[in-house]
Amino acid sequence: MKKHNFYAGPSILSDYTIKNTAKGILGLDNAELSIMEISHRSKECTEMVEETISLFRELLSIPKGYSVLFLGGGASTQFCMVPYNYLNKKAAYIDSGSWSGKAIKEARFFGEVEVVASSEDRNYCYIPKKYDVPKDIDYLHITTNNTIFGTQYKKDPDVKVPMAADMSSDIFSRYVDISKYDIIYGGAQKNLGPAGVTFVIIKDDSLGRVERPIPSMLNYKTHIDKESMYNTPPVVNIFACLQTLKWYRRLGGVQAIQKYNEKKAGLLYDEIDRNRLFKGTADKKDRSDMNITFVMNEEFKELQTEFLEFASNRGMVGIKGHRSVGGFRASTYNAMPIDSVMALVEVMQEYEKGVLNNNLKK
C-alpha cells in the first residue's frame, strides 16, 4: 500500500532529492568518495556549497548585498542569534503562534521586547494585521507560516523598520521580496532537506549595530567572513538541499511551485468546507498552503480517533494534529504530490459516506 506522508517536519522530500542524495552518499563521481566523508575544506565540498548558494540566490531572486549561510542548531538557535546580533535596545515581535512565542522568550534575554500584535485571543487562528510599529525599534520579527495553527502570511508586511522573519515552513513555497528583510532564517526540514541544517539569508550591512560583544559561533559576521566554514558545516544536509534546489529549478522555480501549492491546498480546503464531518480551524483569508489544520465538527467529535485509524489504514501518515491543539493537520509542502492530497480527500469522502449512512440507518 502506498504511504502518503503528511508529517509536519521532518517531512516529505522529493524522489529526486532522496535518490540523488543516496547516490552522493554511495560516492561522488568527481571525488570517488562518499559525500559523508569528504573534507569540508576540499575542492568538491567548496564547489557544492557554492552551487547551493548560487541556486538559493537564483530561485529567491536575492539582491546583491546579502549573504546566504548554512548553520547548525535549527531555527530555535536563531531565536537567540537574531536578538544577539540585532537587538540593541528594543525589538518588536508579532505573536502568531507557538514558534513566535519561543522567539519572543529568547529575545527578552537581550533587551526590551514589545509584542505589537497577537492572535492569542482566538487561539492563533488568524494573522494579526492591525497594529502600530514603533519607530524606535531595532527590528520587527514575524513568523511567516505557523505550522501548529495553520496560518500563513500571504504577502510581506510593508513597514519602515528593519525586518526579521522565521520562514522555516514556507521558504520557496511562494514569492518573497527579500529586499524587505534584514534577515530571514529557517530549518531545512520542511521545504529543503533533512533536519540538521539551518539556512540564513542576511543583509550584510545590517550587522555591527549592537554594543555587546558576541561569541564567535553566535556572531553572523563570523560565518559570513568564513563563508559558512568557520566550523565543520552539516555537509550531507547541504548536499541534500542542493538536490532539492535543482529539482525546484526543473519545476520552473518559485512561481510555478506557488501555483501548484495553491492548487493542492485548494483541493483539501474545498473538501474540508464541503464535508459535514470536518471544519477548518484557521480563518479562511489566513489559511496556510503548507499546513492545513482541521477538526471534527462538534456532533462528530467523538469520531476523531476512529477517523485517524481509518485514514492510517488507507496509507495516510502524519495527519494527527500537534499535541498542543489536537485535531488533524495535513502538511502539503512543496514535495507533496497532488495525488496524495487527492487520496486524502477520497478518504475523507469515504469516511463521511460511511458515517452518514450509518446514522441514517439508525
Active site residues per annotation: 99, 166, 190
In angstroms, the CA 291 to CA 147 distance is: 6
Take residue 362 and report the three cell numbers written for it.
Answer: 439508525
Cα–Cα distances in angstroms (integers) from residue 126 to residues 99, 241, 282, in the given order:
15, 31, 6
In angstroms, the CA 52 to CA 247 distance is: 12
Order across the sheet with 328-331: list the strands: 278-280, 291-296, 328-331
Cα–Cα distances in angstroms (integers) from residue 110 to residues 84, 143, 165, 229, 291, in the given order:
7, 19, 18, 27, 32
Q: If you compute the radius of gyration of the chain from its CA atoms, what whole number of angstroms results? A: 21
Region of 111 (left: φ > 0; alpha: ψ -120 to 50; beta: rest) is left
Torsion of CA 268, 269, 273, 274, to 10 degrees: -30
